[in-house]
Structure 1
Amino acid sequence: MSKTLTDATTKTPTQNIDPRILLLALGMFALGTDAFVIAGVLPVIARDMQVTEGLAGQLVTVFSLTYGLGAPVLAALTGRWPRHRVLIIALGAFCLINVGSALAPSFSLLGLTRILAACFAALYSPLAYTIGTALAAPEKRGQALSFVLGGLTLSTVLGSPLGTWVGEHFGWRMSFGMVALLAGVACIALLLCGLPRESAAPTLSLQARLAPIREPRLLLALLPALLWNLGIYVVYTYLAPIFQQNMHITDISVALLVFGLGAVPGNWLGGLITDRFGSSRPLITGFVVLAMILLGIPFATSLFFGLPLLLLWGLCGPNLFIAQQHRMLSLAPEHANVILALNNSMLYLGIAGGAALGGIVLHTQPVAWLGPLGAVCSLLALLALLFSMRIKRTA
């Protein structure tokens, strides 16, 4: 039977965290695996669908672009509907769409299922955070958020490498089947356990959600997030062909696992470093380090050099994201919810742009060009940050 919101807030501090929060995290694990597994099985998809690897990489572009642009629009459109209902529908539809991806007979239909999957992922993610906090006592809401976010982090550590391994050994269609299974289990379990029932709260209009974009200083402050993710995903999306060419490795699941292992302590260190030094210094240092990593990845000719770079890369990413979130909050505390949502959109637009740009480059140039291009994007993010800091000081 479903519980009301007051059930969660009357728990005593000694009670354990609500198990339904773990089911929400499982849904986030499925979403994260779906978003990043294509990078691991990209050559397999390209070979099976008889398209170039650059074109196959556009599956990442359409997913991320739809997510980045669709999140604020879909949140505004569904804001007056009961949250628990929207979440269950979004997760169930996400499961079915991934079944469609696994069965897609052509590349164009596979691309269409990626667009639809991104729409439902963009609906599910913010609601998982909101409902997760509603299921926790006030003194445990931080824990609840960390559990839900942990599902996304764990997808980088386990989900993407596992999906890649499945795709390499059983076919890329089974990778999407695995995602569908995870999402289906989470959806059915949440249906059986029930979620807090509530009337839809008044929601911000799309115009209100996009209001900070009309402020040049905030738009400039969002630009580094777009640029550094553009640089990251110019390279990350095409890691499989890079490793195949340089190291003659067809299964990069171990490489993705190492990358994910770096992200775990990166999340923890990012908070500590930002609390200790603020946001500006970690961002400046992070952009320089990231540029060096991206420059080196396409020229690593053995795992002896490649794996440490991937581990360091995994450490670097969460540090940048946490510091950027911290900076945006300090610049616009009055727009907290909206500015963080827009910052998240910048991340996905960067992923989309990076995958698209990398695909364009691969039409005419070898994969070694991707590293310098990613490094340039990271340094442009640094320049945008420095300019933004100067504007802030002048103001």
Structure 2
Amino acid sequence: MPGEFRRVHILVLGAFALGLDAYVMAGLLPEVAADLHTSESAAGQMVTLFTLCYALAAPVFATALAGRPARTILTAALLLFTAANALTALAGSLPVLLVARALAGVGAGVYSPMAAATAASLAGAQRRGRALALVMGGMSVGTVVGVPVGVLLADQVGWRGTLWLITALGAVAVVGILLGLPRLEAAPPPPLRERVRVLARRPVAAIAGVSLIAGITSLGLYTYLVPFLTDADGGGTVGTLGAMWAWGVGGVAGSLVIGRIVDRTGRPYVLVSVVLLLLCLSHLLLPGAARASWALVVPLVVWGAAGWALQVPQQHQLIAARPEQASVAVSLNSSAVYLGSALGSALGGVTLAAGVAPADLPYWTGALVAVGLLLHLVLVRTPERATAGEAVRS
């Protein structure tokens, strides 16, 4: 099993490329709009299309591709993702750009949940949390480290150069999977009716619902971090870049540490409760901390850590609840997170347009996190004792 666990690292590079690609385009928006002679609002739809296709691709293609070897699915997904990024780099018009971003979102939406399920399978019960954390950590590092580097690279070689970098990372990840990942036999695909039942069952539906709410609040508020800092007068000391780095450093730490905590405690349900509580408190403390100089760093770091750490125990709960359909259940959770991200950005804009001050937006998102915590406490039930016992026996 230790040898198999080491193979999990093969999946991390692909996750890193996904994390970079998912967020860097927002930072490159002005350059892309100017190059394609279009408005920033029109070019911004490339982010919306990527996110929506990511959310929709996960459950649809998990159904269509179920039963095929994991290596085949991962390779096909990364090939599509890589080709789509190459097409993005070559795009000479807005329609071509939008199609390319949609295809990249499909590839990412297929790869991410399959990589998580494959990592859990390779690691076994005792190291499942660490394996999931490695894949999630690859995405968070791609976001936190890769996005600033990508934006800085774009200043030197243009936005297309950054896309060629992502394309190269995807190609290397494909080679790594083909050469280093063992062939894992997948279970026969269940009928569509059974897949609908997976979502309809309380543990899966409730867990996905909590992930949806977390996506709305955490990533939705992040979209409006700059207006919040400006309105709350917190950007003068920490600064926008400093605030983003504080959030990102917390995200990397949370995504990497949470796996060992899950494995050692064997209590993902309890950990989700704690993480949601921390996420709620960090949002509610943001407005006050923004007026207290460097105190703002604390809730930002906690927010980033909790937001990125949440999905590891969430995925752990889903796999424990439906082990025979792990990839399907995890794909539903992945869709919920990215659909929540898209909804969060939209709802945040609607809330601000309705007259809510940007400085007060964290109060609204904090209250919504509290709803998610209540949903988790009341409706989510996972066989933790059985899972812990399985880990001990292994």
**Alpha carbons of 1:50 and 1:258: their partners in 2 closer, same or farther (altered >3 Å)?**
farther
User: Which of residues 37, 47, 54 in structure 2 aligns to 1:60?
Assistant: 47
User: Which of residues 46, 57, 61 in structure 2 aligns to 1:70?
Assistant: 57
- Which residue number corresponds to residue 285 of structure 1? 277
1:234 pairs with 2:220? yes
What pairs with 1:299-338 in structure 2 (closer than 5 Å)? 304=294, 307-322=297-312, 324-325=314-315, 332=321, 337=326, 338=328
User: Which of residues 333, 349, 362 in structure 2 aligns to 1:343?
Assistant: 333
Query: What is the CA–CA distance in structure 2 between the aligned matches of 1:66 and 1:77, rounded to whole Å?
Result: 15
User: Which of residues 250, 258, 262 in structure 1 aligns to 2:250?
Assistant: 262
**Alpha carbons of 1:342 and 1:184: their partners in 2 closer, same or farther (altered >3 Å)?**
same
Partner of 1:210, secondary structure, is helix
- Which residue number corresponds to residue 392 of structure 2? none
Output the amino acid matched with 1:26: L
Output the amino acid matched with 1:114: R
- Which residue number corresponds to residue 382 of structure 1? 370
Partner of 2:23, secondary structure, is helix
Deviation at 1:279, TM superposition (A): 4.2
TM-score (norm 2): 0.75
- Which residue number corresponds to residue 5 of structure 1? none
- The answer to whether the Cα contact below 8 Å between 1:165 and 1:253 also exists between their aligned partners in 2 is no
User: Which of residues 85, 101, 108 in structure 1 aligns to 2:95?
Assistant: 108
- The answer to whether the Cα contact below 8 Å between 1:157 and 1:257 also exists between their aligned partners in 2 is yes
What pairs with 1:346-361 in structure 2 (closer than 5 Å)? 346-358=336-348
Query: What is the CA–CA distance in structure 1 between the aligned matches of 2:222 and 2:56, rounded to whole Å?
Result: 21
Name the stretch that deviates more: 113-122 or 135-144: 135-144
**Alpha carbons of 1:309 and 1:173: their partners in 2 closer, same or farther (altered >3 Å)?**
farther
What pairs with 1:89-128 in structure 2 (closer than 5 Å)? 89-128=76-115
Q: 5+ residue gaps in structure 2?
A: 382-394
Output the amino acid matched with 1:97: A
TM-score (norm 1): 0.75
**Alpha carbons of 1:26 and 1:211: their partners in 2 closer, same or farther (altered >3 Å)?**
same
Query: What is the CA–CA distance in structure 2 between the aligned matches of 1:316 and 1:135, rounded to whole Å?
Result: 26
Query: What is the CA–CA distance in structure 2 between the aligned matches of 1:84 and 1:162, rounded to whole Å?
Result: 30
Output the amino acid matched with 1:171: G
**Alpha carbons of 1:292 and 1:142: their partners in 2 closer, same or farther (altered >3 Å)?**
closer
Partner of 1:345, secondary structure, is helix
- The answer to whether the Cα contact below 8 Å between 2:51 and 2:338 also exists between their aligned partners in 1 is yes
**Alpha carbons of 1:295 and 1:204: their partners in 2 closer, same or farther (altered >3 Å)?**
farther
- The answer to whether the Cα contact below 8 Å between 1:54 and 1:360 also exists between their aligned partners in 2 is no
Output the amino acid matched with 1:227: I
**Alpha carbons of 1:166 and 1:142: their partners in 2 closer, same or farther (altered >3 Å)?**
same
What pairs with 1:79-98 in structure 2 (closer than 5 Å)? 79-98=66-85
Deviation at 1:163, TM superposition (A): 1.8
Cα shift readout 1:166-198 (whole Å, capped 9, x = no counterpart): 23454332222221111112223444x254246
- Which residue number corresponds to residue 186 of structure 1? 173
Deviation at 1:286, TM superposition (A): 2.5
CA RMSD of aligned residues (A): 4.1
Cα shift readout 1:2-26 (whole Å, capped 9, x = no counterpart): xxxxxxx6xxx5x6954x5433211
User: Which of residues 138, 148, 151 in structure 1 aligns to 2:138?
Assistant: 151
Cα shift readout 1:26-55 (whole Å, capped 9, x = no counterpart): 111101111122333344444545555555
What pairs with 1:15-30 in structure 2 (closer than 5 Å)? 18=6, 20-30=7-17
Output the amino acid matched with 2:209: L
Deviation at 1:261, TM superposition (A): 1.5
Deviation at 1:148, TM superposition (A): 3.3
- The answer to whether the Cα contact below 8 Å between 1:266 and 1:316 also exists between their aligned partners in 2 is yes
The count of corresponding residues between Structure 1 and Structure 2 is 373
User: Which of residues 196, 199, 213 in structure 2 aligns to 1:210?
Assistant: 196
Query: What is the CA–CA distance in structure 1 between the aligned matches of 2:27 and 2:172, rounded to whole Å?
Result: 24
1:222 pairs with 2:197? no
Output the amino acid matched with 2:221: V
**Alpha carbons of 1:233 and 1:319: their partners in 2 closer, same or farther (altered >3 Å)?**
closer
User: Which of residues 164, 167, 170 in structure 1 aligns to 2:151?
Assistant: 164
Name the stretch that deviates more: 46-55 or 111-120: 46-55
Partner of 1:160, secondary structure, is helix
Query: What is the CA–CA distance in structure 2 between the aligned matches of 1:67 and 1:244, rounded to whole Å?
Result: 31
Query: What is the CA–CA distance in structure 2 between the aligned matches of 1:310 and 1:87, rounded to whole Å?
Result: 34
Query: What is the CA–CA distance in structure 1 between the aligned matches of 2:259 and 2:173, rounded to whole Å?
Result: 29
Deviation at 1:361, TM superposition (A): 6.5
- The answer to whether the Cα contact below 8 Å between 1:28 and 1:125 also exists between their aligned partners in 2 is yes
- The answer to whether the Cα contact below 8 Å between 2:207 and 2:333 also exists between their aligned partners in 1 is no
**Alpha carbons of 1:290 and 1:350: their partners in 2 closer, same or farther (altered >3 Å)?**
farther
